[in-house]
Structure 1
């Protein structure tokens, strides 16, 4: 059996190419066929298009958008393609210095792509092989927390404390490590200013937080769900997530998120809200 790392004649003959704005309409039609799994990229393309000069990453294809797609930016996200397409994406990725911090996407695409990249980009810091991708298209089953609301711009500093704590707990690194936190602060500030950061405050302190990290025309992907350690086990995660998911659904979109399979507490909470699994993601974290 040929190794996944062994290039094929076909992949050499037809390399991956960078798509441009002339391809945008076709790309969006393809992503619209898988609107929940492609939400992160669809939202970005709907806002910024495919102009690489915007600095928001590149979209690659081998054989055309209807055949294969892979986004390269802060994350490397395979969206569509067979083995030869993944091989072409890997070949293109390793020709340049690595800019991404993870490979993430549908498990059946992300894991084989990482196998092709691992000799060049490894060793990985962590492989999360099973991340259920969940969706909710109807109002939540559980009662929302009426105290959970959109975060105001003047609350950035207090919210940022919780966001950093969540990031360290979830990802295992401090988002302030590389630039003193300026980039992460800008990201959180942008989410707050766009009305996509939600929290519950008690005595000025965030006890629940979550963001709608990606918002496409059809899907809102929730991220960064976190409960202050002193308030855990009291239902804040379930009720808070119901509030955020309910707002996404009320906007006419499907609410979505993905979760580590071993996080049983979170999975039970999301199940009570009404989320159901539609696919499986995988994430490979690299240093």
Structure 2
């Protein structure tokens, strides 16, 4: 471990405890970084990137996960600018910058003159949480998926991703990697769906989890089945299962303009606790 008392440096295994304490100051907002740290122990060969810490008088004051996803952790605007300075010296490796709005905005203002133009910026994304029972009845037909469901599940995941992100996850020959990711979530018991007569009509996944929280992604209902309440009852079922078996608080973030989704989450009992921003390249 480096002995730098001030400034930004890569973290390693010896920094894990201090990093988890930092992330634990807001464990739901920081669930992605917490999850990555716990599953890799901040070992660079497992991270597939780096985690940087910013130190002051020898104490970690902020951090930044730097991989395909660049995610600031407990970072003020000043911290974000310090991380941006280091990022500019190394070049962009992230395909997405995501996290609390103020930190992401400060980071982007600093790097925008040297990094390539993003494909899209979503500045105001409500970050939602629920830490109690859902307010609507759970759909009893929602269950964990299995590998036998892949013929229906995988195309639904591709459709959701394409609709949400604006390009297919199979672009550039990435289909095998994306299929492996979907299969991994199924194997972990982190993939949930409802099927009607063999056809998938609702799905959602846990993207990451810690002892404090689980973050949901990939909530999707086929266009021809929207407006039937499947998202509300389906998410209620997911909240029930996840809170009972994975983590006590369930979170997600949603596009500000997606009013139907926001209405569904409000009906279930999710409440806004922060604003995220996402920059996609």
TM-score normalised to the size of structure 2? 0.93
Report what 1:19 is aligned to.
11
1:56: Cα distance to partner?
Answer: 3.4
Equivalent residue, structure 2, for 1:5 = none
SS of the aligned residue for 1:233 comes to: coil
Between 1:127-136 and 1:199-208, the stretch displaced more is: 199-208
Contact 2:123 2:277 in 1 (8 A): yes
Q: Is the 8 A contact 1:200 1:209 kept in 2?
A: yes
The 2-side partners of 1:97 and 1:155 are apart by: 41
1:86-133 CA deviation, whole Å, 9 max, x = no partner? 222112212234221111000111111111111122312111111111
In structure 2, what is the equivalent of residue 62 of structure 1? 54
Tell me, yes or no, if the aligned pair for 1:131 and 1:281 is still in contact at 8 Å: yes
Matched, 1:285 2:277: no
Aligned residues of 2:68 and 2:95 also touching (Cα < 8 A): yes
Cα 1:38/1:65, change in 2 over 3 Å: farther
Deviates more, 1:76-85 or 1:120-129: 76-85
Q: 1:140 to 1:83 in 2, by over 3 A?
A: closer
| Aligned counterpart in structure 1 of residue 171 of structure 2, from 174, 177, 183 | 177
Q: 1:243 aligns with which of 237, 246, 256?
A: 237
The residue number in structure 2 matching 1:6 is none
Which residue does the alignment assign to 1:72? 66
Structure 2 SS opposite 1:164: helix
Alignment partner of 1:218 is 2:176: no
Q: Number of matched residues?
A: 274
Q: Distance in 2 between matches of 1:119 and 1:163?
A: 35
Q: What's the TM-score, normalizing by structure 1?
A: 0.91
Displaced runs of 4+ in structure 1, greater than 4 A? none
Which residue of structure 1 lines up, in the alignment, with residue 251 of structure 2? Answer: 256
C-alpha root-mean-square deviation of aligned residues, in Å?
1.6
Unaligned runs of 5+ in 2: none
Aligned partner of 2:111 in structure 1 is 117
Structure 1 unaligned residues grouped into runs of 5+: 1-12
1:180 Cα offset (Å): 4.0
C-alpha separation in 2, matches of 1:180 and 1:57: 19
Aligned pair 1:50/2:45, yes or no? Answer: no
